[in-house]
Amino acid sequence: MQKAALHEKTVIALTINGERKQVRAITPRELLTELELEGEFFAIAVNRRVITRTRWDESILRDGDSVEIVTPRQGG
Amino acid sequence: MLELYGQKFSSRLLIGTARYPSLAVMQEAVKASGAEIVTVSVRRENAGGKDGDAFWNIIRELNVKVLPNTAGCYSVEDAVSTAELARELFNTKWIKLEVIGDKATLQPDVVGTLEATKILLADGFEVFPYCTEDLTVAKRLADAGCKVVMPWGSQIGSGKGILHEEALRRMRAELRGVSLVIDAGLGAPSHAAKALEMGYDAVLLNTAVAGSGDPVRMAKAFAHALDAGRAAFEAGMMKPREIAQPSTPVTGTPFANTANARSS
């Protein structure tokens, strides 16, 4: 309980898709929820390293991290 | 059959999914083209991820093989990172590697392309490198382990066709064990037919279909052209000759060797 309360207060600054944002999310999964991303098909890299979908609940985001959130799109 | 990294395909067309008037037209054009492989890209999420979902659901309905690209990357580092995101997103080892060297011509940075190719091959990717007509670069890419090499016909989106025919014929002759795909610059079905007549294994195009007046009809036109080009290559084309040779037999020509008959 105490840990959760502490979690509530923690705000970190991330660069998300090139824009600086303050967030409360600790994991990539929480970040997607906090950003209200409703899509299903994403890939995420933190500091240029891909975080596989299976690790979205366990990987920890840190203050200053640079996050890329990408989706499939038209291409030639 | 077209063979790309051990997988076989009956269509010799790889088609892009960008620049169509709508997703619905794109879907119909891909179907009409008969292509079994489409190129796609990786982009930052937009509209909460809904744009990506809408597009991806249509691609999945098409039931085609997906070849993600690294379009827009100007450095080895960006291209490699984008390839890694593409592998995660599309669950494929295939990557159409573009390391661009010049904004105006979108000419590939062939030095960076070779460097990124080596990194990605070592990491288990199956690399489809976009390169120029330079024979040495193509050979280096093949030596590095590429089973597919994709030289340009001309600049991306230019529709000029095959600008360096002699160099590309030489490349075909030298790189027998590699699948060669003309990528970029094709504008007309005749360009695609020519590529296959020259012995190229396949073509990759996008704007020629997407930017035409009727993408679905143009997709069909390309499919016919590719069939024609491949059939011509397999049949074996005649060698051009310097002087005329009558196609109708000369023997038995009426009035031969009579008064007033003229021959020279």
pLDDT in tens, B46-98: 877 788 888 999 999 999 999 999 999 999 999 999 999 999 999 999 999 99
Q: Find the domain containing B99 and state its range.
A: 2-235
Whether residue A3 is predicted with pLDDT greater than 60 in this model: the reply is no
Q: Answer yes or no: is A36 within a domain.
A: yes
Query: How far is Cα B47 from Cα A36, in angstroms, rounded to an integer?
Result: 10
Q: B192-219, pLDDT tens digit by residue?
A: 999 999 999 999 999 999 999 999 999 9
Burial of B26 from C-beta contacts in 10 A (0-12 / 13-18 / 19+)? buried
Residues B1, A35 contacting (CB under 8 angstroms): no
Query: How far is Cα B158 from Cα B136, in angstroms, rounded to an integer?
Result: 25
Q: Which residues from chain B sit within 8 angstroms of residue A48, using beta carbons?
A: 77, 81
Q: What is the pLDDT of residue A52?
A: 95
Average of per-residue pLDDT across B11-35: 97
Q: Among all residues of chain A, which has the CA nearest to that of B185?
A: A76
Whether residue A8 is predicted with pLDDT greater than 80 in this model: the reply is no
Q: Answer yes or no: is B247 within a domain.
A: no
Q: In chain B, which among 133-172 make CB contacts under 8 A with chain A?
A: 156-157
Q: Answer yes or no: is A9 within a domain.
A: yes
Size of interface A-B (CB pairs under 8 A): 114
CATH number of residue B218's parent domain: 3.20.20.70
Query: How far is Cα B164 from Cα B162, in angstroms, rounded to an integer?
Result: 6
Q: B139-169, pLDDT tens digit by residue?
A: 999 999 999 999 999 999 999 999 999 999 9
Q: Find the domain containing A18 and state its range.
A: 2-70
Determine, for residues B89 and A41 on separate chains, whether the beta-carbon distance falls below 8 Å: yes
Q: Answer yes or no: is B106 within a domain.
A: yes
Q: Answer yes or no: is B259 within a domain.
A: no
The count of structural domains within chain A is 1
- Indicate the Cα dihedral angle B92, A76, B7, B52, nearest 10°: 30
Query: How far is Cα A46 from Cα B77, in angstroms, rounded to an integer?
Result: 14
Determine, for residues A69 and B68 on separate chains, whether the beta-carbon distance falls below 8 Å: no
Q: Answer yes or no: is B49 within a domain.
A: yes
Tell me if ipTM is over 0.85: yes
Q: Answer yes or no: is A76 within a domain.
A: no
Q: Which member of B53, B84, B88 has the closest CB to residue A39?
A: B53
- Is B93 annotated as catalytic? no
